[in-house]
């Protein structure tokens, strides 16, 4: 098939942006400063305009490369292009999160998903849908702190992560919150599920959006990011395509 025909066929499908826009007021993990920018070329002297940006690599909707958790892990420039396009499986925990903001996706949730939609294919990207993205762009709602200054938001149980890695051999994982590990799951402190993902040479995408707009099964996720030498993380443009 000619490439123009392939592109035309793709454009007949539904395209869903899974990425938040980001800027100076973007919600962020509390250990990071907000983005700053300044103009270094402007139209008063040049025919073009250029900004200088300062922000942490893990900012906005972003990728964590394996090197984020391991000195020997792959960096952004070492992730193969074919890993950037994967079958997308979305596990819906939104109702459970509505009832309990500290909810952690369990192996039981994976089992129930597979009863309804079939076994998760090897080489898939598995995303946890919590609908937490709807709190964007409110930093306070994203952190959801109690009177003691502790955050409450959902994430993954490490046993579920281990199951997906060992038994389903996934290549990517993602969620809508700041962290893989729910802050109130103290036995996973610090970042045990996240480190498990990355040390198994799997990348993850954090702060995804619009997972409620794609089917639980049957779409593909595209994760596009700069080929930064030695990079451990960077903002991404993620989107999903599925047949109408």
User: Which one of the listed residues 20, 51, 62, 68 is annotated catalytic?
Assistant: 68
Is 68 annotated in the active site? yes
Question: How many angstroms separate the CA atoms of 150 and 155, rounded?
Answer: 15
Instruction: Mark residue 57 as left, alpha or beta (left: phi above 0; alpha: psi -120 to 50; beta: remaining).
Output: alpha
Beta strands in the chain (DSSP E): 14-17, 36-41, 50-54, 62-64, 85-92, 104-105, 125-129, 155-156, 172-174, 203-206, 219-224, 233-235, 237-242
Q: Which residue has tokens 């954090």?
A: 206
SS3 for 210?
Answer: coil
CA 2 to each of CA 7, 8, 9, 13, 222: distance values in angstroms, whole numbers, following the listed order: 9, 10, 11, 18, 21
Active site residues: 68
């Amino acid at each position: 098939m000619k490439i123009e025909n392939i592109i035309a066929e793709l454009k007949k499908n539904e395209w869903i942006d899974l990425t938040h826009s980001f800027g100076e007021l973007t919600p962020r993990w509390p250990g990071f400063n907000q983005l700053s920018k300044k103009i270094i070329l402007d139209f008063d002297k040049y025919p073009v305009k250029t900004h200088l940006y300062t922000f942490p690599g893990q900012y906005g909707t972003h990728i964590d490369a394996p090197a984020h958790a391991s000195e020997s892990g792959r960096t952004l420039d070492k992730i193969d292009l074919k890993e950037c396009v994967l079958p997308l499986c979305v596990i819906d925990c939104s109702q459970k999160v509505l009832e309990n903001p500290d909810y952690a996706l369990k192996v039981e949730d994976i089992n129930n998903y597979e009863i309804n939609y079939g076994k998760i294919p090897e080489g898939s990207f598995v995303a946890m849908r919590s609908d937490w993205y709807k709190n964007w762009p409110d930093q306070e709602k994203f952190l959801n702190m109690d009177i003691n200054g502790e955050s409450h938001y959902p994430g993954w149980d490490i046993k579920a992560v281990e199951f997906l890695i060992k038994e389903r051999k996934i290549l990517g994982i993602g969620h809508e919150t700041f962290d893989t590990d729910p802050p109130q799951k103290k036995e996973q402190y610090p970042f045990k599920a996240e480190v498990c993902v990355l040390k198994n040479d799997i990348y993850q995408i954090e702060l995804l959006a619009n997972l409620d707009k794609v089917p639980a099964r049957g779409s593909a996720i595209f994760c596009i990011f700069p080929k930064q030498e030695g990079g451990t993380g960077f903002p991404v443009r993620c989107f999903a395509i599925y047949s109408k």
